[in-house]
Amino acid sequence: MRHASEYVVKSFVAGLVIVVPVYLSILLIVKAMQRAAEVVRPLVKLFPNWFPAEQVLAFLLVLIVCFLIGAAVGRPAGRAAQEKIEKSLFERIPGYALFRSLTRQVAGSREERGWKPALAEIEEALVPAFIIEEFEDGRFTVFVPSAPTPVSGSVYILTPERVHPVDVSFAQLIKSLSRWGYGSKELVAALKNQRAA
């Protein structure tokens, strides 16, 4: 009975972690389009009545604003402003830092320092894990995700000899975990290749 309730809770949390950001993103886009519709309303008269000009122009305006913000963040001044806003506002929102880090990792960002794939020695086994940070004395903070819901798991602080970074992508490790470990032989092969090199 306990295993069934744990499974239900883990499945619910995994679904929530996926659905909530998607839902909030859609809500924000719809709200932004409503605001943008007020701006583009004078241009609507230039289009035929059968064309949904207000919605199309509002959506294009939202896309243009997103592009301009993205381009600004690519510059040093924009990046500094983004970091300041994130630290003062967004990082106070529970889960924001986790979602930002996961999104950057999935997108293949090289800037994200944490979430490096590894195999960690827990008890007598090697388990798929992520290196979150490295201590000055060489120890690691390691997150060992649950399968098949890799957004929940346990955090360990381990000595360097118990943590083995593997040269696989973030997405590859997540894929293996979400498939109840199928594909783990590639993680072990990557570890053997690194030791042989």
Co-location of 132 and 182 in the same domain: yes
Dihedral pair phi/psi, residue 145, rounded to 5°: -75, 155
CB burial string 122-158: b at 16+ within 10 A, e below: eeeebbbbbbbeeeeeebbbbbbbebebbbebeebeb
The answer to the question of residue 109 being in a domain is no
Co-location of 39 and 86 in the same domain: yes
The answer to the question of residue 154 being in a domain is yes
Q: What is the mean pLDDT of residues 78-86?
A: 78
| Beta carbons within 8 Å of 18's beta carbon, 6+ residues apart | none
Q: What is the mean pLDDT of residues 90-111?
A: 60
160 DSSP assignment: G
The answer to the question of residue 10 being in a domain is yes
Two tokens, residue 143: 């997150």
197 confidence band (pLDDT: 50, 70, 90): low
Q: Is the pLDDT of residue 109 over 60?
A: no
Q: Is the pLDDT of residue 152 over 60?
A: yes
The answer to the question of residue 15 being in a domain is yes
Q: Is the pLDDT of residue 106 over 80?
A: no
Number of domains comprising the chain = 2
Per-residue model confidence as pLDDT tens digits over 26-56: 888 889 888 888 888 888 888 888 989 899 9
The answer to the question of residue 186 being in a domain is yes
Two tokens, residue 124: 């007598």
Domain interval for residue 136: 116-196
In this prediction the pTM is 0.51
Co-location of 137 and 68 in the same domain: no
Q: Is the pLDDT of residue 68 over 60?
A: yes
Per-residue model confidence as pLDDT tens digits over 159-175: 999 999 888 887 788 78
Co-location of 124 and 191 in the same domain: yes
